[in-house]
Amino acid sequence: MLSATTDILDAAVRGGHGVGAFNVVQLEHAYALVEGAERAGTALVLQISENCARYHGSLAPLVLAALAVAADASVPVAVHLDHIESPELVERGLDLGVASVMFDASADPYADNVARTREIVRRCHDRGVGVEAELGEVGGKDGVHAPGARTDPAEAAAYVAATGVDALAVAVGSSHAMRTRDAVLDFDRIAELRAAVAVPLVLHGASGVPDADLARAVRAGLTKVNISTHLNAAFTRAARAALAADPALVDPRRYLGPARAAVATEAARLLGVLDAVPAGAVRTRETR
State the amino acid at position 207 in one-letter form. Answer: S
Task: Decide if 166 contacts 199 (C-beta within 8 A).
Answer: yes
Rounded Cα distance, 178 and 88, in Å? 30
pLDDT band at 44 (very low <50, low <70, confident <90, very high): very high
Q: pLDDT > 90: what percent of the chain?
A: 76
pLDDT of amino acid 106? 86
What is the tens place of the pLDDT at every residue in 73-122?
A: 999 999 999 999 999 999 999 999 999 999 999 888 999 999 999 999 99
10 is catalytic: no
> Does 136 score more than 90 pLDDT?
no
Rounded Cα distance, 167 and 49, in Å? 17
- The model carries a pTM of 0.89
> Does 68 score more than 90 pLDDT?
yes
Taking the CA of residue 48 as centre, how many other CA atoms within 13 Å lie in the half-sphere pointing to its CB?
32
pLDDT band at 59 (very low <50, low <70, confident <90, very high): very high
Rounded Cα distance, 4 and 81, in Å? 13
> Does 62 score more than 60 pLDDT?
yes
Name the residue among 197, 194, 220 with its Cα closest to residue 209: 220
The residue from 82, 104, 213, 275 that is catalytic is 82
Full set of structural domains in the chain with CATH: 5-135+214-281 (3.20.20.70)
Rounded Cα distance, 40 and 271, in Å? 6
